Amino acid sequence: MSHAFLTAAFYRFVVLDDTEQLRPQLLAQCQAQQVKGNVLLAHEGINGTIAGPEAGVRAVLAWLRADPRLAPLVHKEAWATEDPFYRMKVSLKREIVTLGVPDVHAATEAGTYVSPQDWNQLIDDPDVAVVDVRNDYEVAIGSFQGAIDPHTRSFSEFPQWVERNEALLRGKSKVAMFCTGGIRCEKSTAYLRQLGFDEVYHLEGGILKYLETVDAKDSRWQGDCFVFDERVSVGHGLQPGDHHLCRSCRRPLDAADRASPLFVEGVSCAHCHGSTTEAQKSAYAERQRQMERAAARAEQHVGQVFSPPPAAAP
């Protein structure tokens, strides 16, 4: 089966002081190219994922890079047989990734990039605090050997974790942080530098670039990496993992999770079964039936999009 849809994920920390003017222009450009997805604009930069015909996606990326501020924009590509988005949204936000701390300037104050090829040498140093800045459910399915897990449910909880564990971090000569694609660790290094940490490093391109470029036999990565698309998780070489997504709470589920009596396809899992009402479960079950009927007709189901329970929100 041919892969008809190109997906491009991108972000860049850069001062954008004209987001209100940029928003309708970008939306019109995407619509003209039959491109769908979700893009966030803020004073601190841009963060988005778009998908559509290859020519259309590349045209939108070229349009963005025609702006000198976005000329260095780097994107990651993936292919899909179905359009992963139902509509195009361009939203104005306070932050392109929510830390919740004012005046953190990742565009100018981020830590030092470390390439995937040099990452092993850095994190093998016992005097380096290696911190995984992703959410707890992401860390649960894979991380770097010996990395610290802050057990945060969202990135906005990271400053509170730092406050409680500042002595631990200052007890090392360096701090190295990583995340899926680089955006969270880039901002978290700027936050630590704002607190007075000098030697702060982050993995260039994130875990995905490391898994793509570092040979499995040399890798310090253990497990799978959660991704925010229909692959759910990937391993070395970005090969799809064995995790499925709970359509209720959006957590990755392994074989043991799916064997739980509390797991119902499209409705609930052991993580969220007790946090949804019977009315919600009934609505999720109806959505699952409609999706199965659409799949049987080789159609894409476009139905109501439900928000996950608050406790499980990323």
**Do the strands 200-203 and 233-234 form a parallel or antiparallel pair, or are they unpaired?**
unpaired
| Residue 179 known to be catalytic | yes
pLDDT beyond 70 at 303: no
Backbone angles phi, psi at 138, to 5 degrees: -75, -45
**Do the strands 45-52 and 233-234 form a parallel or antiparallel pair, or are they unpaired?**
unpaired
Bridge partners for 144 per DSSP: 221
Q: What's this model's pTM, rounded to 2 decimal places?
A: 0.85
How does pLDDT run across 109-168, given as a tens digit for each residue?
999 999 999 999 999 999 999 999 999 999 999 999 999 999 999 999 999 999 999 999
Task: Give domain 106-223's CATH superfamily.
Answer: Rhodanese-like domain (3.40.250.10)
**Is residue 200 a contact partner of residue 190, using CB atoms and an 8 Å limit?**
no
Q: Where are the domains of the chain?
A: 5-92, 106-223, 252-312
**Do the strands 5-13 and 45-52 form a parallel or antiparallel pair, or are they unpaired?**
antiparallel
To the nearest 10 degrees (0 to 180), the angle between helices 19-32 and 54-65 is 160
50 residue type, one letter: I
Q: Which residues contact 163 (CB under 8 A, 6 or more apart)?
A: none
- Both tokens of 216, joined, read 């499995």
Alpha-carbon gap, residue 181 to 74, rounded angstroms: 11
Where is pLDDT greater, at 82 or 149? 149
Predicted confidence band at 2 (pLDDT cuts at 50, 70, 90)? low
Residue with tokens 């509509």: 87
CATH architecture of structural domain 5-92: 2-Layer Sandwich (3.30)
How does pLDDT run across 181-208, given as a tens digit for each residue?
999 999 999 999 999 999 999 999 999 9
Where is pLDDT greater, at 30 or 297? 30
Query: For the chain, how many residues are written?
Result: 314
**Is residue 57 a contact partner of residue 76, using CB atoms and an 8 Å limit?**
no
pLDDT beyond 50 at 308: no
Where is pLDDT greater, at 80 or 207? 207
- Of the listed 30, 179, 185, 249, which one is catalytic? 179
Backbone angles phi, psi at 223, to 5 degrees: 95, -155
Instruction: Please report, for residues 142, 209, 228, the alpha-carbon distance to residue 201 in angstroms, rounded to integers and kept in the order given.
Output: 20, 16, 24
Alpha-carbon gap, residue 209 to 196, rounded angstroms: 29
pLDDT at 58: 98
Alpha-carbon gap, residue 154 to 157, rounded angstroms: 6
Predicted confidence band at 294 (pLDDT cuts at 50, 70, 90)? confident
